[in-house]
Amino acid sequence: MSSDSTASDDIHSSSPRGLRPVHVSRRCYGGLCERERKRERGRETQKFTMKSNVLLLLLLLTAFTCGEDNTAEELQVEILEGPETCSVLSTMGDTLQIHYTGKLMDGKVIDSSLSRDPVVVELGKRTVIPGLEQSLVGVCEGQKIKATIPPHLAYGKKGYPPTIPGDAVLEFEVEVISLTQQTPWQKMINDVFPMVCLALVPTLLGLVGLYLYQKANAKKPGKKKSKDKKMKKK
């Protein structure tokens, strides 16, 4: 009997009777069979799909929230009443006479001009809060508007205690009583004159510097002449 057959007999004789020998599949890697690997891949794919869906949902919610925030931070102007034709629209530099009623978003009135004379507003002079001034650009005489003004265009985080709390959104109903357009001379003063002044500043500074330089150099010859005279006297 050969040595190989003897070894095989020893192996079979050492195993308990009634038990079949275990056949290990060649497709098993690291303790996982091919079927287990396929199942594991399927689970990983499902997990990846779920994570992708959750991430997409979060991105959509973030975009929606940012859209709401941007809308809340913008100045909103609604036309309540107005003439059928509006040939002249207000621009920066024009003068308006208006009546207004300012409220908080809960309806509490913070100020009103209805019991007083109309308020004169010259656009561009910053005589009123920025949001109200911006809402008055592009209106016409006889028009009524409602402006919803965000905090950064009104009184900001500090507010105006005790009447206006911090970070308050304001609502103004405005009636344009009259509109006076700026004359060409006023337009030139408002638009051109500041630019001319800015252009002249470097020139004026240069002239002042040149004058001081010439004045400083003019003293030196005088000192030399006085020294020469003293030398001659000696």
CATH code for the domain of 85: 3.10.50.40
Q: In this structure, what is the dihedral angle of CA atoms 209, 213, 218, 219, given to the nearest 10 degrees?
A: 110
Residue of 171 and 4 predicted with greater confidence: 171
Whether residue 37 lies inside any domain: the answer is no
Q: What is the pLDDT of residues 126-163, one digit of tens each?
A: 999 999 999 999 999 999 999 999 999 999 999 999 99
Task: Tell me the residue range of the domain where 154 lies.
Answer: 76-185
Residue 167: predicted pLDDT: 95
Whether residue 105 lies inside any domain: the answer is yes
Question: Global pTM?
Answer: 0.53
Residue 71: predicted pLDDT: 40
Q: What is the pLDDT of residues 100-125, one digit of tens each?
A: 999 999 999 999 999 999 999 999 99
Residue 64: predicted pLDDT: 57
- At residue 3 the predicted structure's pLDDT band, cuts being 50, 70 and 90, is very low
Q: Which long-range contacts (CB under 8 A, 24 or more apart) does 73-76 make?
A: 73/150, 73/152, 74/150, 75/131, 75/134, 75/135, 75/147, 75/148, 75/149, 75/150, 75/153, 76/147, 76/148
Whether residue 221 lies inside any domain: the answer is no
Q: What is the pLDDT of residues 12-67, one digit of tens each?
A: 444 455 455 545 444 555 555 666 777 777 777 777 777 777 777 777 776 655 54
Whether residue 9 lies inside any domain: the answer is no
- At residue 11 the predicted structure's pLDDT band, cuts being 50, 70 and 90, is very low
Whether residue 2 lies inside any domain: the answer is no
Total count of domains within the chain = 1
Residue 217: predicted pLDDT: 78
Whether residue 179 lies inside any domain: the answer is yes
Whether residue 49 lies inside any domain: the answer is no
Whether residue 111 lies inside any domain: the answer is yes
Residue 206: predicted pLDDT: 84
Range 196-215 average pLDDT:
81
- At residue 68 the predicted structure's pLDDT band, cuts being 50, 70 and 90, is very low
